[in-house]
Amino acid sequence: MVRQESLIKAAEGKCEYHRADHSFRVMKLALQIFEHQLEIDAPEEVRQESDLFREALKWTAVLHDREMAGFDFDHGFRAAGKVDQIVRIQTSERLRDIIKFLCIYHVPDDSEIENINETQRWILKVFKDADSLDRIRFNNGDKLDERYLRFDFSKTLVSEARSLWERTKQFSDLPGKSFDAVFNNGIE
């Protein structure tokens, strides 16, 4: 099981628009979507290894945008390239492979993603919805467009995502405080 301190340390990225507060909001939203959808439509592999996929979502949330520079479509590949370096001691190779997959494929449009299995498609939908929900903070061309959310449940989280952003945005440069603000001093 991943330790909170490890996640907080890993959330210290370089991107101006995607700092620790973004990482932890995405983590919280991803875990909410995951738990809700788990018994509804998760593939059997995810149900059997739910702890593994929860861990993958946590790590992906803190790593997925840490290597981004502006409008940068290769940042997912660079983030995936850092996975072994950042989480190598604490995780299995299988977990690292899932994290790398999510980092790489969170960037392209869904229509551009081919040749992935049912489990990959499902966990990617969970992560992309969580990441999309945190676009609530933008008021420009990058803002949240609810039509692109993949799960109906995700659409019910828009108000919560807005509230989460409002209470955590002031901690963008403070990973520890940001984590506490999002998770109220704890994560399972």
Question: Quick one: CA dihedral 132, 145, 151, 33, positive or negative?
Answer: positive
Tell whether 12 is covered by a domain.
yes
183 vs 24: CA distance, rounded Å: 8
One digit per residue, the tens of pLDDT, for the chain of length 188 reads 556 677 766 666 555 555 678 889 999 999 999 999 999 999 999 999 999 999 999 999 988 876 565 566 677 777 788 888 888 766 799 999 999 999 999 877 888 899 999 999 999 999 999 999 998 887 655 688 899 999 999 999 999 999 998 888 777 667 788 888 888 744 44
Residue 56 neighbours by CB distance under 10 Å: 27
Tell whether 143 is covered by a domain.
yes
In this predicted structure, what is the pLDDT of residue 9?
67
Tell whether 164 is covered by a domain.
yes
Tell whether 187 is covered by a domain.
no
Number of domains in the chain: 1
Tell whether 183 is covered by a domain.
no
CATH code, domain with 77: 1.10.3210
- SS3 call for 187: coil
| Domain that includes residue 17, residue range | 4-177
